[in-house]
A and B are shown apart, each in its own frame.
Chain A
């Protein structure tokens, strides 16, 4: 009798142990890492967007891995540098998709790079999510695999342009834009002119600069001759700041509004006292009093020598968490044989994204594949970007 009782208990114990072993632990993922590709420019004029986005993604990755990874498997970011060169961007995208076999790609950063990379990922059936690209139309033209977790520049700038024109009573405006840069050209040609027309301001001149130009004396002298009451500048932060410096140097002290590429501490660092009072718009705001934003900003500043994050950092951080959420909810398995299916699951997840509460605000993805959230209007006050209330 005793032996049988012990035997019974042992069988029960074995069965229980077997039960524990067989039950999957929280939909555990296969493989030894969840691979997410990241392509950013770490050299060239837009390097600050690339660096900040990368740090934002790394912060998210470290936080996720500190609490056990995704489905028990660590998250791994495979990072490549495009050096702001579009052909590099394409080659690296192909490498990530075919050789490294990542589930999803975060990037590219520049609208110019997205314009060439999106058609490629659309053909290769992998999602690419840009946390920063703002030129209108890029995702809409590359459905269903291209996404941008960012507002397009027209949506971001509309409220800012209105406020700026009203506050400064701008009736005659001059536009300067960088014709060698995708997002700047989009703003200079497709966003500023119709917005100004609607606001009743006349565009008296529209001139261009190129990415590597450093001398703006001729441009400003020409504008001075036309006597605008305001100047709208669409160029990357350092160049725009130097344009404003030249304006002040030549005595053209009219109000300035810039495109979304200048919503960046670098603009103020380069422009210093000359850019005081300049307006811009951003999808995110580093000085927001929201405690999660404060925590993120503090961690970012630790990693980047006290520099404040631009919107790329916020959006990249949120994008990584969104990816984690989709992987967990949509049954991504991370098994090598499921690669195509997993990529599709990620696509569906991004397509259906609604009201994700992130540090960059509450985000949804619209039918064009672009992000939707409330933009912030910013003004340079005493050397910092400060929010302008609507």
Chain B
């Protein structure tokens, strides 16, 4: 049972990590806690679901479609509620995203209703069994996608010109724009990438858990925040490791301790880590104002 729980923890953690990566990216580059990220994730799941329902396509197509849709949604959010908010008021952008999250959630309820929906059973899921341990192809998809996306993001940020632009804007947006970088463009690209990631996460999690509902985003955002603190604010590698760590803690507290306290354990571990390493496991990206 131990190894099965280990696998459960890994898979659950990978799903958390997917959401957390996008969340931490926005925080790292824009110094913004994007509360509506959970709703982008939720709408990504619905976009994927509607694509499958209308055109009977495969998971891959639904995934790509959801990423595009969520990316566009992210751009719209950036344009409407972030760009023209005065950044001198520290909390203003944050509150603006809270507003967007409420609007998007109500929008989801009005259009899709409050029930939990799931992808049609026609999508093939293969179950691999090794002795008493069991892994499904969906879980492998999630793990693989999370790793692939993390690698891609890492390469983009550290090896491309856009990546340099993003990192410079993160350090000091004013200087960056004085040096000729299109900081508005960088902000848009950041939203685009993170939202696309969230959309992909939405489809994959919707496939695994059959619980696509307009309320699925809220819980995810709280966990995303925890993982961000755990792994280091703005640190993509930290989000990946933090996500898996959180998944493991939750699974093991259910498996071996009292399941009622699983959230207590998760936050307890977070507190312990922050006491030991206040900048998170992999260090925080520092910001100058």
Quick one: which of B109, B114, B216, B259 contacts A209, CB cutoff 8 A?
B259
Q: How far is the CA of A207 from the CA of B260 in the complex (A)?
A: 8
The answer to whether residues A242 and B254 also contact, given A179-B260, A208-B259, A219-B259 and a CB cut-off of 8 A, is no
From B2-10, B18-26, B46-54, B56-64, the one touching the partner chain is: B2-10
The answer to whether residues A218 and B250 also contact, given A44-B114, A242-B210 and a CB cut-off of 8 A, is yes
Q: How far is the CA of A209 from the CA of B11 in the complex (A)?
A: 19
Does the CB pair A214–B216 fall under 8 Å? yes
Q: How far is the CA of A255 from the CA of B10 in the complex (A)?
A: 29
Does the CB pair A238–B115 fall under 8 Å? yes
Chain A residues closer than 8 Å to B15, beta-carbon distance: 215
A-B interface pairs (CB < 8 A), number: 74
User: Per DSSP, are chain A's interface residues mostly helix, strand or loop, or mixed?
Assistant: helix
Does the CB pair A43–B109 fall under 8 Å? yes
Asked if A212 is at the interface of the complex by the 8 Å CB criterion, the answer is yes
* CB of B141 to closest CB in A, whole Å: 15
Q: How many residues of B contact A (CB 8 A)?
A: 35
Does the CB pair A47–B251 fall under 8 Å? no
CB nearest neighbor in B for A270: B116
Does the CB pair B5–A212 fall under 8 Å? no
Chain A residues closer than 8 Å to B116, beta-carbon distance: 238, 242, 270
Does the CB pair B115–A272 fall under 8 Å? no
Quick one: which of A209, A225, A266, A270 contacts B210, CB cutoff 8 A?
A270
Does the CB pair A43–B255 fall under 8 Å? no
Does the CB pair A215–B136 fall under 8 Å? no
Bitwise interface map of B from 242 to 264 toward A, beta carbon under 8 Å scored 1, else 0: 00000000111011101110010
- Most chain B beta-carbon neighbours within 10 Å: one of A44, A218, A222, A266: A218
* CB of A339 to closest CB in B, whole Å: 35
CB nearest neighbor in B for A224: B1
* CB of A175 to closest CB in B, whole Å: 12
Asked if B215 is at the interface of the complex by the 8 Å CB criterion, the answer is yes
Asked if B146 is at the interface of the complex by the 8 Å CB criterion, the answer is no
* CB of B280 to closest CB in A, whole Å: 24
Q: How far is the CA of A207 from the CA of B259 in the complex (A)?
A: 6
- Most chain A beta-carbon neighbours within 10 Å: one of B9, B118, B263: B118
Asked if A141 is at the interface of the complex by the 8 Å CB criterion, the answer is no
Does the CB pair B134–A251 fall under 8 Å? yes
Does the CB pair B211–A242 fall under 8 Å? yes
Chain A residues closer than 8 Å to B4, beta-carbon distance: 221, 224
Does the CB pair A47–B8 fall under 8 Å? no
Does the CB pair B1–A218 fall under 8 Å? no
Asked if A249 is at the interface of the complex by the 8 Å CB criterion, the answer is yes
Contact residues of A between 1 and 44, Cβ < 8 Å to B: 42-44
Bitwise interface map of A from 176 to 213 toward B, beta carbon under 8 Å scored 1, else 0: 00010000000000000000000000000001111010
Asked if B127 is at the interface of the complex by the 8 Å CB criterion, the answer is yes
Contact-residue size bin, chain A (C-beta under 8 Å from the other chain): 20 to 34
Does the CB pair A218–B255 fall under 8 Å? yes
- Most chain B beta-carbon neighbours within 10 Å: one of A47, A221, A266: A221
* CB of B246 to closest CB in A, whole Å: 12
* CB of B218 to closest CB in A, whole Å: 8
Quick one: which of B12, B114, B259 contacts A42, CB cutoff 8 A?
B114
Chain B residues closer than 8 Å to A324, beta-carbon distance: none
Asked if A333 is at the interface of the complex by the 8 Å CB criterion, the answer is no
Chain B residues closer than 8 Å to A273, beta-carbon distance: 121
Does the CB pair B134–A250 fall under 8 Å? yes
Q: How far is the CA of A48 from the CA of B115 in the complex (A)?
A: 8
Asked if B219 is at the interface of the complex by the 8 Å CB criterion, the answer is yes
* CB of B244 to closest CB in A, whole Å: 14
Asked if B130 is at the interface of the complex by the 8 Å CB criterion, the answer is no
Does the CB pair B210–A245 fall under 8 Å? yes
The answer to whether residues A270 and B118 also contact, given A217-B8, A218-B251, A242-B209 and a CB cut-off of 8 A, is yes
* CB of A239 to closest CB in B, whole Å: 8
Bitwise interface map of B from 182 to 213 toward A, beta carbon under 8 Å scored 1, else 0: 00000000000000000000000100011100
Chain A residues closer than 8 Å to B250, beta-carbon distance: 215, 218
* CB of A247 to closest CB in B, whole Å: 12
Q: How far is the CA of A249 from the CA of B4 in the complex (A)?
A: 13
Chain A residues closer than 8 Å to B218, beta-carbon distance: 212
Chain B residues closer than 8 Å to A221, beta-carbon distance: 1, 4-5, 8, 255
Does the CB pair A212–B215 fall under 8 Å? yes
Quick one: which of B9, B114, B209, B260 contacts A218, CB cutoff 8 A?
B9
CB nearest neighbor in A for B11: A217
Chain B residues closer than 8 Å to A225, beta-carbon distance: 1
Q: How far is the CA of A224 from the CA of B15 in the complex (A)?
A: 23
Q: How far is the CA of A245 from the CA of B210 in the complex (A)?
A: 9
28 contacts between A and B (CB under 8 A): A42-B114, A47-B115, A208-B258, A208-B260, A209-B259, A210-B263, A212-B218, A212-B219, A214-B216, A217-B12, A218-B9, A218-B254, A218-B259, A219-B259, A221-B4, A221-B5, A221-B255, A222-B254, A225-B1, A238-B211, A242-B116, A242-B211, A249-B127, A250-B134, A266-B115, A270-B116, A270-B210, A272-B121
Given A217-B8, A222-B5, 5 more contacts at CB 8 Å? A208-B259, A209-B259, A222-B254, A238-B116, A270-B118
By Cβ-Cβ distance, the 9 closest A-B pairs, closest first, are: A218-B254, A218-B251, A217-B8, A225-B1, A214-B211, A214-B209, A47-B114, A238-B116, A207-B259
